């Protein structure tokens, strides 16, 4: 028979197909022979335990292939690497808008001092004394994209995070 295997490699558990309908689990010094009922395998996965804890499961190979295809699909659509790249792209875009904010700052200090301004594509698209209302409005009008929204002040505001943490107790 053919079967797929899900297991935890770091536990040094090895499975080898000895013959049809049987599977051997070899663990360091031990060597065990197990029998698989193909009909039952079709109904539910065959679970292998060690010390009462499941460490692997055997499933029909077509189900295993379906799982691998699904995992491949997920990896391409929602991988952490992809999310990180999207976040980096967004930060790069924000930096460009911030550069425009800094370039315009002297002018803004004369015209918008104490207000919040929103900058997109290097241009001021909106301003308000209410930071939150401005943010909601520009996202609604221009989409949820990197728009630089900051307060026009001589010195950038500073926020403190004052709680020290114990690293070692």
Partner 1 sequence: MLRYSTEFNPPAPVLDFIVYCPVDHGRAARVRGELDSGAEISVLPQEIVDALHLVPRRLMITEGYDGTQGQWATYMIDLEVEGYPVNDVEVIALPRKNGILDRDVLNCFTVTLDGKALSFEMMDP
Q: Does 157 bind partner 1 (CB under 8 A)?
A: yes
114 binds partner 1 (CB under 8 A): no
Per CB under 8 A, 87 contacts partner 1: yes
Phi and psi at 108, nearest 5°, equal -65, -35
DSSP states of 103-115 as a string? Answer: HHHHHHHHHSTTS
Shortest gap between Cβ of 3 and partner 1 (angstroms)? 34
* Nearest distance from C-beta of residue 98 to partner 1, angstroms: 6
162 is a contact residue toward partner 1 (CB under 8 A): yes
Within 10 Å of residue 1's Cβ, how many Cβ atoms? 14
Minimum CB separation from partner 1 for residue 79, in Å? 10
CA–CA separation, 145 and 58 (whole Å): 46
Q: Does 115 bind partner 1 (CB under 8 A)?
A: no
Query: Which residue, 61 or 109, is less far from partner 1 as judged by CB?
Result: 109
Total of chain residues touching partner 1, rule CB under 8 A: 32
Segment contacting partner 1 (CB under 8 A): 21-29, 42-50, 120-128, 129-137?
129-137
Residues 14 and 64: their CA atoms lie apart, in Å, by 17
* 8 A C-beta contact, residue 100 and residue 119: yes
DSSP 156: -
Strands in 123-128's sheet, in edge-to-edge order, are 123-128, 116-120, 148-151
DSSP 91: H
- The residue within the footprint of partner 1, chosen from 68, 74, 75, 91 (CB under 8 A), is 91
Per CB under 8 A, 160 contacts partner 1: yes
161 binds partner 1 (CB under 8 A): yes
Listed residue (127, 153, 129) closest to 138, CA to CA: 127
What is the binding site for partner 1 (CB under 8 A)? 80, 83-84, 86-87, 90-91, 94, 98, 132, 135-136, 139-140, 144-150, 156-164, 166, 169
């Amino acid at each position: 028979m053919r079967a797929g295997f899900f297991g935890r490699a770091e536990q040094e558990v090895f499975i080898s197909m000895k013959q049809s309908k049987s599977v051997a689990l070899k663990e360091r010094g031990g060597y065990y022979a197990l029998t698989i009922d193909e009909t039952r395998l079709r109904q539910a996965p065959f679970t292998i335990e060690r010390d009462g804890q499941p460490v692997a499961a055997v499933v029909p190979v077509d189900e295993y292939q379906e799982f691998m295809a699904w995992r491949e699909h997920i990896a391409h659509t929602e991988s952490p690497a992809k999310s990180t790249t999207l976040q980096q792209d967004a930060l790069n875009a924000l930096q460009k808008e911030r550069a425009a904010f800094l370039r315009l700052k002297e002018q803004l200090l004369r015209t918008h001092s104490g207000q919040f301004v929103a900058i997109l594509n290097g241009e001021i698209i909106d301003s308000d004394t209410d930071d939150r209302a401005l943010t909601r409005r520009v996202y609604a009008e221009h989409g949820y994209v990197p728009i630089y929204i900051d307060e026009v002040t001589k010195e950038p505001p500073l926020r403190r995070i004052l709680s020290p943490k114990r690293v070692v107790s």
